[in-house]
Amino acid sequence: MTTARDIMTPDAVCAGENESLTDVARKMTDLDVGSLPICGEDDRLKGMITDRDIVTKAIAQGRDPASVRAGELAQGKPVTIGADDDVTEVLRTMAAHKVRRLPVIDGHKLAGIVAVADVARALPDRPVGDLIDAISS
């Protein structure tokens, strides 16, 4: 049985919930990524933040990205998958929630991220194509 842990990108870098959006944007640039998990002081996942969130929920609204904190953009309960959950559950969760990146949780801590690219590398073409169809519609 292939699990989320088997296909995830480990050692995900977090945006701290108290980091400014300016710092988060710099971190994204340095890492060459378009999203980061938001982690609290307790190392628990608070949400996800994307470059689009920074633009649409702060800059486009005239908010100063140096004074807005990442945690302010974390809304609702983040969609996650357990590290030992089967890859079919990863596919089902990504498709159901139309997400391209899925935080992997081990206990209460962030263990990694499963991205569509990770799924594409690990699985045959058919399930990957079905996933792309599901999250793109």
Q: Check residue 67 and give its pLDDT.
A: 97
Q: Check residue 70 and give its pLDDT.
A: 96
Q: In the structure, what pLDDT confidence band is assigned to residue 127 with cuts at 50, 70 and 90?
A: low
Burial string for 98-137 (b: 16+ CB within 10 Å, else e) reads ebbbbbbbeeeebbbbbbbebbbebbeeebbeebbeeeee
Distance from C-alpha of 117 to C-alpha of 115, rounded to nearest angstrom: 5
pLDDT at 130 over 80: no
Q: How far is CA 66 from the centre of its chain?
A: 22
pLDDT at 18 over 60: yes
Q: Are strands 101-106 and 109-115 parallel, antiparallel or unpaired?
A: antiparallel
CATH class of 4-136: alpha beta
Q: Domain ranges for the chain, please list them.
A: 4-136
Query: Do 114 and 6 form a contact (C-beta atoms < 8 A)?
Result: no
- Angle at which helix 87-97 crosses helix 125-136, to 10 degrees, equals 20
**What DSSP string describes 83-116?**
TTSBHHHHHHHHHHHT-SEEEEEETTEEEEEEEH
pLDDT digits (tens, 9 = 90+) for 60-90: 999 999 999 999 988 778 899 999 999 889 9
